[in-house]
Amino acid sequence: MPKNIKKKIILLFGPTASGKSRLADDIASEINAEIVNADSMQVYKEIKILSARPLKKNKKHHLYGFTSVKKIFSTGSWYKIASKKIKQINKKGKIALVVGGTGLYFKTLTDGFSEIPNVPKRYKNIKINRNFILKNPKIFKGISLNDNQRLQRAYSVYKHTKKPLWYWQKSNKKEFEKSEITKIFLSPPKPETLKRINTRFELMLQQGAIKEVQKFIKKKVNSSHSSNFIIGINEITQFLRKKISLEEVKERVFIRTRQYAKRQHTWQRGQMKDWKGFYDTNYLDLRKKILTYLSKT
């Protein structure tokens, strides 16, 4: 491990189209690190283009494109595999550079992860009752009323276990000490992010995103699986079925990606107050500043 880098783990969070993959490659080569993916959509082997998975692997990359879109893959699944991989990297005397845009993945590494009992399907299918949520705020403590997915999750856990989700989460088990981790986030200005989002999808189409979706459709993935929610799959599927035009595909993808980036920024502001932020748009300046910061931590 380089003498000027004291920490064993570097976390690099960034919103979609922030340039974090390119930056991670450069940093890894400078500090003798190996990269661990922390993007929930880049884990699927069949979706390389639309998930913006790094196309060229010049360094040691881990947890990219290793599971099938037909398999259920949760935050807990990622945490178990990633924790093991990080320890293996550290054991070799190298730094683990964890990079991605999935906030929950990073939260498990910093806060730990609790084993929440598996909820039977019959409880997962119970439709959430909004009046129940309003009358029982303690059960949904810490969850936004606009976050329907997490509200549904908390509701099903409570129905099954008779205990709120936060009860299980408070028993988090940490695999890594705070002293081992350096936490960094990228936050480019909104106009720059929007510009990159628009340019990137045009490139995805040129690289073969439509053919990628055609192959995905043939897989007949269960509609409940998270791989279905990769931005671009539903929109291109509608195009292939002649329900919308290619221009409508571009517009819808742009809107969804913009909304996703906004959610990532909101997560960063709320959950990463003790992280070091970098806001530069000039790549060389950004790279230099981060390497200088890492050499001092």
Res 50: pLDDT: 97
* 20 neighbors 186 (Cβ within 8 angstroms): yes
Q: Note whether 165 and 179 are same-domain residues.
A: no
The answer to whether residue 126 is domain-embedded is yes
Task: Identify whether residues 161 and 184 lie together within a single domain.
Answer: no
- Determine contact, residues 36/176, Cβ cutoff 8 Å: no
Q: Which residue in the block uniquely carries the two structure tokens 């549904």?
A: 152
> For residue 32, which amino acid is it?
N
Residues 109 and 128 placed together within one structural domain of the fold? no
The pLDDT value given to residue 57: 62
Give the span between the Cα atoms of 88 and 83, in whole angstroms: 9
Residue 79 carries which side chain, given as an amino acid letter?
Y
4 within domain boundaries: no
C-alpha 289: how far from chain center? 24
Please report the pLDDT score of residue 8 as a whole number. 94
Which residue in this structure is represented by tokens 């709320």?
270
Nearest to 27 by CA among 265, 280, 295: 295
Q: Are residues 66 and 108 in the same domain?
A: yes
Q: Which of 206, 184, 296, 186 is nearest to 250 (CA)?
A: 206
The span from the CA of 233 to the CA of 225, in Å, is 13
User: Letter for the amino acid at 142?
Assistant: G
Distance CA 142, CA 119 (A): 20
Q: Are residues 215 and 258 in the same domain?
A: yes
Q: Do 158 and 273 share a domain, yes or no?
A: no
123 to each of 155, 159, 264, how far by Cα in Å? 9, 7, 29
Q: Looking at the structure, do residues 252 and 291 belong to the same domain, yes or no?
A: yes
Neighbours of 78 (CB within 10 A): 25
In a domain, 3, yes or no: no
* Reduced DSSP (H G I as helix, E B as strand, rest coil) percent helix, strand, coil of the chain, to 5: 50, 10, 40
Q: Which of 136, 169, 202 corresponds to the end of one domain?
A: 169
Are 162 and 235 within one domain?
no
39 belongs to a structural domain? yes
Does residue 2 belong to any structural domain of this protein? no
- Quick check: is 196 in a domain? yes
Tens-place pLDDT, residues 59-108: 689 999 999 999 988 888 999 999 999 999 999 999 999 999 999 999 99
Query: What are the two backbone dihedrals, phi and then psi, of residue 168, each rounded to the nearest 5 degrees?
Result: -75, -35
Given a contact cutoff of 8 angstroms between Cβ atoms, the answer to whether 280 and 286 are in contact is yes
Give dist(CA 53, CA 49) in Å, integer: 6
The residue count of the chain comes to 297
The answer on 152 and 47 residing in a single domain is no
Place of tokens 């119970």: 126
Domain containing 126: what range?
121-169
Query: Could you report the per-residue pLDDT of 189-246, keeping only the tens digit for each?
Result: 999 999 999 999 999 999 999 999 999 999 999 888 889 999 999 999 999 999 999 9
Looking at residue 41, which CATH number applies to its domain?
Answer: 3.40.50.300
Two structure tokens written together for 282 = 């000039």
Q: Are 21 and 63 part of one and the same domain?
A: yes
**Could you tell me if 277 and 243 lie in one domain?**
yes
pLDDT for residue 272:
96
Put simply, whether the predicted model's pTM sits higher than 0.75 gets the answer: yes
pLDDT in tens, 3-12: 467 789 999 9
Least confident of 1-5, 132-136, 165-169: 1-5
Of 135, 169, 203, the last residue of a domain is 169
What ranges make up the beta strands (E) of the chain? 9-13, 33-37, 61-62, 95-100, 181-186, 276-278
Report DSSP letters for 184-207, one per residue.
Answer: EEE---HHHHHHHHHHHHHHHHHH
Q: 117: pLDDT confidence band, cut at 50, 70 and 90?
A: confident
Residue 209 CA to residue 204 CA, distance in Å, equals 6
In a domain, 223, yes or no: yes
Residue 175, pLDDT > 70, answer yes
162 or 146, which is more confident: 162
Residue 4 identity? N
Mean pLDDT of the chain, nearest integer: 91
